[in-house]
Amino acid sequence: MHEIICPHCTKAFKVDDSGYAEILKQVRDADFAQQLHERLELAEREKQSAVELAKAKVTSDLQKTAAAKDAEIQELKSKLEGSGVAQKLAVSEALSAVEKERDRLANALAESEREKKAASELAEALLASEQHKITAAKEKEIQELKAKLQAVELEKKLAVTEAVGAIEKERDELKSGIKQVQLEKQLSEQSLKDKYETQIKDRDDAIERLKDMKARLSTKMVGETLEQHCETEFNRVRSMAFPRAYFEKDNDARTGSKGDYIFRDSDEAGTEIISIMFEMKNESDKTATKTKNEDFLKELDRDRTEKGCEYAILVSMLEPDNELYNTGIVDVFHRYAKMYVIRPQFFLPMITLLRNAAINSLKYKTELALVKAQNIDITQFESQLETFKAAFSKNYDLASRNFQAAIAEIDKSIDHLQKTKDALIGVDRNLRLANDKAQDVTIKKLTKGNPTMAAKFAELKTPPAEAAE
């Protein structure tokens, strides 16, 4: 038996072991309930603190992330705006410089065209003057040859007159002689007549040969071939007129064909002024089949092209009766560009004429090369500008893609924080449900289905007087 004193009335009463055990259990259950309630309240306060702290941290992180994102967006916008303004300014300045350079080059080109036209007119005047001089020299040479021919005719007539006079005188002296002497005189007369007729025929043939030679060669070409004549004539004036010139036979037959001679001349700086491919054509009087100048023009043009020469000249003695080739220098530009057909007497004058014209046009070629180089510089500038624009566009695309990637990462971070927030909200909801369940715990629910505990709690609720009775 156990004695228990009531805390209200200070009366002592005795209970058995089972009752005492039930009272102790009741007391322990009440203490447990109180401790559980205190712990639930502590957990609720800690939960509220954790929720508030998590909310504050999430809010702070979101604010920082949003601020960083806004700052990065503003920075990218300012960079894009700055780069766009710089690009527009650079393009405007480049276009302005290009337009100014284009106007300057157009003016320079117009000026060079005017100067080129003036030089062309001057060259034509010089060419006409040279042709007039050559024609005058040719007329003078013809007059001299006519005078020589007249002298030969006069000499022939004089010789015939003298011979006939001598024969007649001898015949008259022999008329008084005997028949034998008369016969000898007749034989001698016939012999002398045959002899002088042979001489006259030989002189006539010589005159015809001289006329034919005049159409083909100058007097200095007698006994020489055409190639030897041209080479000798050039070497005779090389040291004075062409000190830096190259004039040699074309021995390069790798392409299957070659010309006769190649002429090249250059200035003091070594820049080539002019180049000419020569072909020399002669024909013997005994040749049965006569060739024409046109038969060699195509091959000459091919040789000129393969050897990189500017002009092509056919020095020809063919077609001696053709007045077209006998009157002077003949250009065949309608068939082949920069090609001439000349007689041997125009060999040196033709080289001099073309060389002088090339020297006059050399400075225009230099200026044209400078203009071309400037055009190349403009093209390179435009190419560099296009390269810059392409590189800028590429960098812009990379920056734009990186910007979009950063935005995507920020969105991913926001989604992650939102998931974290949702998880915390879920924790808060579970804690609230646990709190609600803890608040809903009552003695009635705890003793439901437990008669002993229900009886004990009922006894505790019963007043002490009713228990004593």
Ordered by start, the domain boundaries in the chain are 172-223, 227-379
Would you say the pTM of this structure is higher than 0.75? no
pLDDT level of residue 28 (50, 70, 90 thresholds)? low
Q: Over the chain, what HEC string results? A: CEEEECCCCCCEEEECHHHHHHHHHHHHHHHHHHHHHHHHHHHHHHHHHHHHHHHHHHHHHHHHHHHHHHHHHHHHHHHHHHHHHHHHHHHHHHHHHHHHHHHHHHHHHHHHHHHHHHHHHHHHHHHHHHHHHHHHHHHHHHHHHHHHHHHHHHHHHHHHHHHHHHHHHHHHHHCCCCHHHHHHHHHHHHHHHHHHHHHHHHHHHHHHHHHHHHHHCCHHHCCCCHHHHHHHHHHHHHHHHCCCCEEEECCCCCCCCCCCEEEEEECCCCCEEEEEEEEEECCCCCCCCCCCHHHHHHHHHHHHHHCCCCEEEEEECCCCCCHHHHCCCEECCCCCCCEEEECHHHHHHHHHHHHHHHHHHHHHHHHHHHHHHHHHHHHHHHHHHHHHHHHHHHHHHHHHHHHHHHHHHHHHHHHHHHHHHHHHHHHHHHHHHHHHHHHCCCHHHHHCCCHHHHHHHHHHHCCHHHHHC
The pLDDT score that the predictor gives to residue 431 is: 77
The pLDDT score that the predictor gives to residue 300 is: 94
The pLDDT score that the predictor gives to residue 307 is: 92
Query: Of all residues in the chain, what percent carry a pLDDT higher than 70?
Result: 71
pLDDT at 90 over 70: no
pLDDT at 335 over 60: yes
pLDDT at 221 over 50: no
pLDDT in tens, 116-125: 677 667 766 6
| Weakest-pLDDT range from 261-275, 285-299, 438-452 | 438-452
Of 195-199, 320-324, 396-400, 452-456, highest mean pLDDT: 320-324
